[in-house]
Amino acid sequence: MARQDRAIRTRRVILEVAAAVFDEQGFDRATIAEILSRAGVTKGALYFHFPSKEELALAVLHEQVLDIAVRPQQIKLQEFVDAGQILAYRLRHDPIQRGAARLAIEQGSNHLDRRQSMTAWTGFVEGMLKESKARGEILESVNVRDAAELFVGAFAGLQMMSKAFTDQNDVSHRLTVFFEHTLPTIAVPAVLTKLRIDPDRGARLDAELREGAVQEGGESAAETGVAFEGAVP
């Protein structure tokens, strides 16, 4: 068990360091040598978990989706909003999210297949919207798949603008503005009036998730991907 735990921790360290390097340098300029130096692991340890730089980058992209956990809410559509605001907050503070964001939207590199990341995010959003629609929170006329692809594509664009202008510092505000303009087109009026979309919500939720994870067993929410029960006001 101790060996397994050590392997899990080593994998996470490699992912976080690689994500930071990808965020700073992009996929093409990032080198395995730089990642090894910063992570303080052997080449054998890295290649045990990730056979190539491409596999390492794809793992960072995959981890971005796994890292997003939200508390269950009475309104499922609120969980969708919360997931977006948590991601927006972590784009300013979390190495995995920052590195994955650059990998997902970076232009010019032909060595990395980003479709898996986009597909994973679309599936994640579509699942939440499907449940919202089944609960009667979303208008019957809404095509859930199309809405999911719209949100994922638009959020990628918001990230690009925020990165260019403020290094992601205003991405929560930009997402809130986007929600204000788009949620009225999919949510039933009775639900829309109850949604909380303020830009500071992501920071509060992230802090509560991490505090709850420590109380549960000392692991961060990013490592466990746990969704905690209870509503957040």
CB atoms inside a 10 Å sphere around CB 161: 12
Q: What is the pLDDT of residue 51?
A: 94
Alpha-carbon dihedral 31, 35, 38, 43, rounded to 10 degrees:
-110
Selected residue with higher pLDDT from 123 and 231: 123
Residue 28, pLDDT > 50, answer: yes
Residue 109, pLDDT > 70, answer: no
Q: What is the pLDDT of residue 220?
A: 41
Structure-token pair, residue 203:
């920071």
120 band by pLDDT with thresholds 50, 70 and 90: confident
Looking at residue 108, the DSSP 8-state letter turns out to be S
Category of 73 on φ-ψ map: left (φ > 0), alpha (ψ -120 to 50) or beta: beta
pTM assigned to the model? 0.79
**What is the residue whose two structure tokens read 């788009």?**
182
80-98: per-residue pLDDT in tens? 999 999 999 999 989 998 8
Mean pLDDT of all residues in 59-81: 88
Mean pLDDT of all residues in 125-142: 97
Distance of alpha carbon 77 from the chain centroid: 17
202-228: per-residue pLDDT in tens? 999 999 988 887 776 644 444 434 332
Residues linked to residue 138 through DSSP beta bridges, in sequence order: 187
Q: Exposed, middle or buried by CB within 10 Å (0-12, 13-18, 19+), for 40?
A: exposed
Looking at residue 184, the DSSP 8-state letter turns out to be G
Looking at residue 198, the DSSP 8-state letter turns out to be -
150-159: per-residue pLDDT in tens? 999 999 899 9
Helix (H, G, I), strand (E, B) or coil at 137: coil
